[in-house]
Amino acid sequence: MEIIPAIDIIDGKCVRLTEGDYQKRTAYHSTPLEMAKIYADHGIKRLHVVDLDGAKAGTVINWKTIEEIASNTDLVIDFGGGVKSRDDVFRIKSLGIAYVTIGSMAVKAPNVFEEWLIEFGPDNFMLGADAKDGKIMISGWLESSSIDLMTFIEGYMKKGIRNIFCTDISKDGKLEGPALDLYKVLKEKFSELHIIASGGVSSIDDIYKLNEIRCDGVIIGKAIYENRITLDQLRKFMIEMN
């Protein structure tokens, strides 16, 4: 199982939201680049980066920050937040970023996203399936939809998507544990997909539980920043899994 620390960016700074609420945010002292280098120094290989300003504005805002991370580390990065055009996708890929994360566009402009899948190839994208009460949420979790989570995932699986991260928004940022039942169902229903858990991870025990139900990866945010999970614990887990 891949360990994937999250770096969420507002105004070029590392922040964490609670339940996706921009009014419930905590800013941290280290810059995104500093945090990325710390992760790399502890053996981390992957990184999940979100431009929260971009997600809210509907256009990528923090280009400078993501360029700094991509050009100064060897981390395998997925990046999203405000990606709305083919040029955005091309620019992100030209930085050497492995995956372009698409959430809102997959809901609001599926025909455009399907064109990108054909042009760039589905392996260059990660589908963000963020949900609350079983329904897809979009635009930085500010908008709800009537789209069923399972139907949404199944539809894009048929279009070639294999990489998905799913956030149960009711769990996110609350440090109350991940939605284990949801991820277990997803792995059973979509066994061929690479499914990454996100939201609610609060202890190293949560990491082991997600590994037990065969999640392919886990995104960890606030638990690291608030020292609920140490980087030494994560290094130990990765050594045990190798």
Active site residues: 8, 130
Secondary structure class of 171 (helix, strand, coil): coil
Cβ atoms of 165 and 203 within 8 Å: the answer is no
Nearest-angstrom CA–CA distance, 40 and 18: 26
Buried b (16+ CB within 10 A) or exposed e, 113-128: beebbeebebebbbbb
Nearest-angstrom CA–CA distance, 162 and 34: 31
Nearest-angstrom CA–CA distance, 157 and 159: 5
